[in-house]
Structure 1
Amino acid sequence: MAPQHRTPLAALAVLALLPIGLAGCGAGDGNGGPAAPTGRAPAEEAAAKSRERVQAYLDALAARDADAGRSQLCAPMQAAFDAAATGPNGDFADHFTVPQAAITDVRTGSKGQEVSAVITVAAGSRKADRALLFTVTRTGADWCIAGEAPGGNSPPPSGTP
């Protein structure tokens, strides 16, 4: 059997088609385009996105907008939210108001970004401060709240980055 020789035309065809074949292999925005640079380090971006999600939830809580609050949650949390959010002890119960809410700390935790917040809950003339710990994770190109629990992290001492 005689050895096969490739023609220069075949080599050119492979080189011409190679970029098209590799177009889907690189990092991108999920729509075929390059990912938009944020100008931030991954940890800094994670903290900023987590803070944004929790702040949007706190704003929805203060505005009594359950739909806006639900939209900040990861899909697995939404069914539980729907069942409990407007119930007697839910975050969006009719007899509660939230006159104040503030994020006190954002840090990396074992299950994602941990965002600590303190909310003031009012029922009639009674008010109480409640500490909450939100866990925020990345799902694809987006961020969502994956957990909410009582408590929170103490803010770092002043002067600590």
Structure 2
Amino acid sequence: MVVNRGALPLAVGLAALTFALSGCGMGGDDEPAEEAGRAPAEEAATRSRERVQAYLDAMVAKDVAAGRSQFCATAHAAFDAAATSPNGDFAEHFTVPAATVTDVRPGARGQEVSASVTVSVGGQSTTRALLFTVTRTGADWCIADEVPGEAPPSGVPATSTVEPSPSSAP
């Protein structure tokens, strides 16, 4: 059998090139790499919204344990001290007939989630805004902080979604 000396190096070179290019994504499915670039931001917004909504649902249900479970372990002591205080989110003397997430945006310490909460005491209702900071701890997400937020625009029901103002839009 006669072998062409020039064909053998060419065949080896082509085999090596094919192997090297397959590791670079040539000929493969590029979609997972593209999704990886978008997924963290989308996941952060989704998980943050879910955490805060679960907390708001716990407020409506007056379920302190469920509310506490949404907070990061480092915030449990502050939650325990404030949650059932006279003006806390779970105070016995008022009800929360409506609460909803109104905005989610990236912030300096994590995702900032704005919420609108309607509180009723003795037949009088008022709507207040809260701002939550949600962070990632390991594989999970949790609320790291809660502070009073901007007041919702007048005439906006607590159950509607408020569009961010141009100054607060990302």
User: Given the two structures, how large is their TM-score scaled by the length of structure 1?
Assistant: 0.70
Q: Which residue in 2 is equivalent to 1:155?
A: 164
Q: Which residue in 2 is equivalent to 1:122?
A: 120
Q: Secondary structure at the match of 2:117?
A: strand
1:119-148 deviation digits (Å, cap 9, x = unpaired): 001111111100010000000000000010
After superposing on structure 2, the runs of 4+ consecutive aligned residues of structure 1 that deviate more than 3 Å are none
- Structure 1: segments with no counterpart, 5+ residues: 1-36
User: Given the two structures, how large is their TM-score scaled by the length of structure 2?
Assistant: 0.67
Q: CA RMSD of the aligned region, Å? A: 2.3
Q: Secondary structure at the match of 2:54?
A: helix
Q: Which residue in 2 is equivalent to 1:81?
A: 79
2:164 corresponds to which letter in structure 1? P
Distance in 2 (CA, whole Å) between partners of 1:77 and 1:100 is: 25
Distance in 2 (CA, whole Å) between partners of 1:95 and 1:56 is: 22
1:101 equivalent to 2:64? Answer no
Structure with bigger gyration radius: 2
- Structure 2: segments with no counterpart, 5+ residues: 1-34, 152-162
- Does structure 2 conserve the Cα–Cα contact (< 8 Å) formed by 1:85 and 1:92? yes
Q: Which residue in 2 is equivalent to 1:48?
A: 46
Distance in 2 (CA, whole Å) between partners of 1:85 and 1:60 is: 11
- Does structure 2 conserve the Cα–Cα contact (< 8 Å) formed by 1:56 and 1:72? yes
**Percent identity between the two aligned chains:** 70
